[in-house]
Amino acid sequence: MLDIVQDVSLKVKYQEALVIKGASGSGKTTLLGLMAGLDQISSGDIELLGNSLGDKNEEQRSAIRSGKVGFVFQSFQLVQGATALQNVMLPLELRGDSDAYDRARHSLQQVGLELKKNTLIDHLSGGEQQRVSIARAFAVQPKILFADEPTGNLDAKTGRQIADLMFRLRDQSGTTLVLVTHETELAERGDRQILIDSGCLIPLDPTQNTRLGQS
Amino acid sequence: MLKIKSSGIQSYWLMLVATVITVSIVSSSQLLTQRISLLLDRQASELLAADLVVVSGEPISSEYQQQAEKIGLDVANIISFRTAIFIDDSPQLVAIKAVDDAYPLRGHLEISKDYVGDKLKVGQGPKVGEIWVDPKLSQLMLGPVTLGSAQFKSDWILTFEPDRGGGSVFNLSPRILMNIDDLTSTGLIVPGSRAKYRLLFSGEPEKINEFIEWIKPNLKAAESLQDLENARPEMRQALDRTRQFFALSIVLTLVIAMVAIAITARHTANQEAPKVAMLRAFGISQTRLMRFYAEQLVKVWVIATVFGLVIGWFSQYPLQWLLDTWFGKELPAISTVMPYTNAAIVGFISLIGFSLPFLFNATATPPMQVFRPSHSNRSIRRNIVIIVTAIFSVFLVLIVLVQSSKLAIATLVMILAVALVLPAIFYLMINSLLFTGRRQFWLRQYLLSRLKTKTRGALAVMSGFCLALLAILLIGVVKDELLNSWQKQLPDEIPNYFLINLRTDQVPAIEHFLQQRDIASSESYPLIRARLTHINEESVQDIEFMDPRGANLLKRTFNISYSDQLPDDNEVISGQWVANDSATPEWSIESGVAKNLGLKLGDILAFDIAGESIKAPITSIRTVLWENFKPNFYLMSNRQLLENQPQTWLLGALIKEEKKAELKQLIINFPSVTLLDITELMSRIRGIVSRATSALEFFFLFAMASAFIVLMAAIQTGRREREQESSLLRALSANIGQLYKVHIFEFTLMGILIGFFAALFASIAGWVISAQFFDIEYHFSSSIWLYGILSSTLVLTTVGTLVSRKVYHVSPMKTLRS
């Protein structure tokens, strides 16, 4: 077993945009996954939206996430063979929303893809696919959104547009955002940055991009 | 220089397993079919008392015997002739058969002290100084019998001789069997005597074939070669059908195995694509990559061949034990490496033919995929290459394994139709289902879009599994239909005795005798001995027949008959059955003889009947069901043509065990009548049918095992995608119930579609095969639909869900990491 982080404590405030930075292999994605309840922690505890995840199995953690947590992935993770609209409808229908269709359409409208709602995912560009992914994440009106390198697979210009879109929607909805990135420009848009390094979490000054000291 | 390093055989393990199975199937099925076939042939050969016979009207050259012994064949000699003996001062024509100690080479003789008493099976004829006599001659047992100038002891009644009739069961005088060493002392055979000489041979099939090759050009004009093909039409049909059932079952089993290779090859190629993109980005040429994959495939083939042959060899033993129980007799061993070489060749063709195009396709993966994975690197041209190579591979395999090119082509067409049509049908169906209810995605639309997506290859896997199920249904259900129809042709209540040599005036009295004793009998038929002399006014001596069977037929005397009614189980396939009360001479000919002699409607045949030439045109061609054991004839005419010719009559009777005592009275009342017991012959044919059924059950097990591999391969190939999907659904907060639902509904939907189309194509293929290859009327059965849809849905849903349940425990973290 590998210790990703040791003796650390981290609190994410309501409606805050926290950015986790770190070198490749430093454990950024693992930390994000653990915080989101996607994996089991080996020791200690994580509290997500007031629920302790430490002693919960996947089924219970899934119930905690349901309808309250959204994700944006580096590789989009969309259902191939389905349309943009259907991809956005999926998490809504999984939690039993009866107006999934209308809400998904609205969400796609917000990301500027209303006209491409019936286009198959395979026929969309990388940037468009990530927009669908963001629409899907915001469609469930999450309390907290976890984004893992959301611009990592995109060119700089598209990446910037995606970042704008994500932060705009987050500002509109007041969703808490936990973002993992190694891109400085994107990281600087967060309210707070922390660096993960050798299992330690180090706060950074968002304006100076310098270490503030261990938290 | 950058070197491509093999990631080890583990990358190809699914393909390796599929190839091992293919090689095992071919080697073990070939080994066993050859052994079963040899056993069936031997049992059938017992009806000839040998595997091959040379028949001649003159003494046969000792050179044949020497050559046969040199090759390693067993040889036996028979001399048969007719002579008259005196019984109670009345002359009686008898058929004497003098045999040496080696006779019979196949089968056994049966003797008893009393005709209805216990029978004793023996493997040798009478000793010197002894004769065995026909039941009709049982009065000879009272004292010594004089044959020519020698006297013999007669203690036994000969109740069964395997080769009685030697081709025609109807034309018999009462038999006396004696030792060939006594023949000279009788003085009955002198130069110029009319006698039939038979030289019998038996041995390994390869040696028999070698001997046939040698003897054919050496045969003299008066000599002919007899094997089962031309000696016993009733047995020939049974064996032909059995062999075709075998061939069909092996081919279908192999189709399933090849589907497994194709599915796993596709899976491997998809897995290799990212690696190839990276290597190409590093500047490795496509040619080098192709060479690299070709080498990998050869390694897979070598390993698979070794394992496959070992498994094939070992699998003989448990299967042999099982078959020994079914067959009640030990399977004969074979001494040929052909099953092994065939298995290795088929393994190579299947592996290379199905895998190489996929891997070559993978080598064309654009380096761009390093940056942006996509699965659309297959052009139409490359897809065509994959399809054409696969078709060619299947055809090569069929050529290696199936001797009948007609069956090979039919199977290829069937496979092609299914392989090409099915993905299109599935695609269209899924698309049309996707078109409706678009306002709701979960669950129906979600499932359909997953099935449609290229990356999962669901359409290819569904088509492959459908082909496998189709093969199973054909072997399983259609086989039952075919065998049932076949067995229906051999009902229990058919005549087990032929009463022959009846005089015309005796027929009503004998019919009355049987009726009085409640013994069922067939219609009686006249028998006229005739020799074909001219076809369309041309002497048969001047005609060169392309088919050697045609030439052989000319050497025999035909037993022809006439009747107002078309006999039972005969079917006129061309022309009109001879008209009742027709004064115009007409022939009706059996379709096999017509084919062998190259005859058609309208041809004029002239026969020599007791010195008189009788000619008439062929007005109908009939098929005859030889296995029905009713009086059957190659040639029949209208009554007027033959009514006045010298003739005897015959009829079939069903004489049950409790009525056998009546036989004595029958022989006393009608001493000139010969009774021919065909119970043994019937049980042989029934035995072949039932053993063929058992052997097919065994192939069914093979087919099931292969289909299971296809199923596992199909499930396994989609496993990575399933893990990914489950992980994503989990991240999107799906609960375990929803994950189960996805898989249960997915496999159920696939199962119903696969089952439906497999049943549809199996029904069509069953009908074509029945009509084209087995000449059996096919009844469309609802059971094929029931078994097809139920089995595919239940098996796919159960196994698929059970195997897939592991993916429910995959952490959603996988989504983040992918």
pLDDT tens string A67-103: 889 999 888 888 888 899 999 999 998 888 889 999 9
Rounded Cα gap, residues B488 and B628, in angstroms: 10
By DSSP bridging, strand B570-575 and strand B145-147 are unpaired
- B429: pLDDT strictly greater than 80: yes
For B290-315, the pLDDT digits (tens) are 888 888 889 999 999 999 999 888 87
- Phi, then psi, of B599 in degrees rounded to 5: -100, 155
Best of B816, B817, B818 to disrupt the A interface (most A CBs within 10 Å) is: B816
Rounded Cα gap, residues A90 and A96, in angstroms: 10
Rounded Cα gap, residues B79 and B176, in angstroms: 12
For B334-358, the pLDDT digits (tens) are 777 888 898 999 899 988 888 888 8
Rounded to the nearest angstrom, the minimum Cα separation between A76 and chain B is 9
Rounded Cα gap, residues B77 and B477, in angstroms: 47
Q: Residue B500, SS3?
A: strand
Structure tokens at A5: 């982080």
Closest residue to B734, CB basis, from A71, A94, A118: A94
- Helix and strand element counts for chain A (H, E): 7, 9
Query: What are the CA-CA distances from residue A210 to residues A10, A188, A206, B139 (Å)?
Result: 18, 12, 8, 127
- B507: pLDDT strictly greater than 80: yes
Structure tokens at A31: 């930390």
Straight-line distance from the first to the last Cα atom of chain A, in angstroms, rounded to the nearest whole number: 24
Q: How long a stretch of residues is chain B?
A: 818
Q: Look at the block and give the residue holding tokens 């420009």.
A: A185
Rounded Cα gap, residues B296 and B272, in angstroms: 12
- Which range, B448-462, B547-561, B763-777, has the best average confidence (pLDDT)? B763-777
Instruction: With residue B266 as reference, give the H or E element that holds it.
Output: helix B233-281
| Average pLDDT in chain B | 79
Peptide bond preceding B188: is omega within 30 degrees of 0, i.e. cis? Answer: no
Rounded to the nearest angstrom, the minimum Cα separation between B736 and chain A is 7
Q: In chain A, what residues touch B440 (CB-CB under 8 Å)?
A: 89, 93, 100-101
Rounded to the nearest angstrom, the minimum Cα separation between B37 and chain A is 52
Rounded to the nearest angstrom, the minimum Cα separation between A131 and chain B is 17
Helices marked H in B72-204: 183-186
Q: Chain B interface residues facing chain A, Cβ-Cβ under 8 Å?
A: 372, 376, 438-442, 445-446, 449-455, 725, 728-736, 738, 809, 811-813, 815-818
Put simply, the answer to whether A38 touches B449 (Cβ < 8 Å) is no
Q: What is the pLDDT of residue B167?
A: 41
- B165: pLDDT strictly greater than 60: no
How confident is the model over B509-531, as a mean pLDDT?
Answer: 88
Q: What is the pLDDT of residue B168?
A: 45
R_g over Cα of chain A? 17
Put simply, the answer to whether B732 touches A38 (Cβ < 8 Å) is no
Put simply, the answer to whether B733 touches A101 (Cβ < 8 Å) is no
Put simply, the answer to whether B440 touches A69 (Cβ < 8 Å) is no
Straight-line distance from the first to the last Cα atom of chain B, in angstroms, rounded to the nearest whole number: 31
Q: What is the pLDDT of residue B460?
A: 75
Q: What is the pLDDT of residue B689?
A: 66
Q: What is the pLDDT of residue A139?
A: 92
Put simply, the answer to whether A38 touches B817 (Cβ < 8 Å) is no
Rounded to the nearest angstrom, the minimum Cα separation between A10 and chain B is 20
Looking at chain B, which residue has its C-alpha nearest residue A88?
A: B441
* Longest Cα separation, chain B: 110
For B785-796, the pLDDT digits (tens) are 988 899 999 998
- B367: pLDDT strictly greater than 60: yes
Q: In chain A, what residues touch B450 (CB-CB under 8 Å)?
A: 79, 81
Rounded to the nearest angstrom, the minimum Cα separation between B460 and chain A is 16
Q: What is the pLDDT of residue B303?
A: 93
Closest residue to A65, CB basis, from B372, B454, B733: B733
Put simply, the answer to whether A77 touches B731 (Cβ < 8 Å) is yes
Q: In chain B, what residues touch A30 (CB-CB under 8 Å)?
A: 813
The residues, any chain, with a CB within 8 Å of residue B320's CB and separated by 6 or more, are B32, B35, B331
Instruction: With residue B87 as reference, give the H or E element that holds it.
Output: strand B74-87
Rounded Cα gap, residues B686 and B486, in angstroms: 10
Q: Look at the block and give the residue holding tokens 């290696």.
A: B400
Q: In chain A, what residues touch B729 (CB-CB under 8 Å)?
A: 94
* Side-chain-side CA neighbours of residue B122 (13 Å): 20
Q: What is the ipTM of this complex?
A: 0.85
Q: What is the pLDDT of residue A215?
A: 35
Distance from chain centroid for Cα B435:
48
Put simply, the answer to whether B733 touches A86 (Cβ < 8 Å) is no
Closest CA to B764 of B524, B414, B466: B414
Q: What is the pLDDT of residue B169?
A: 47
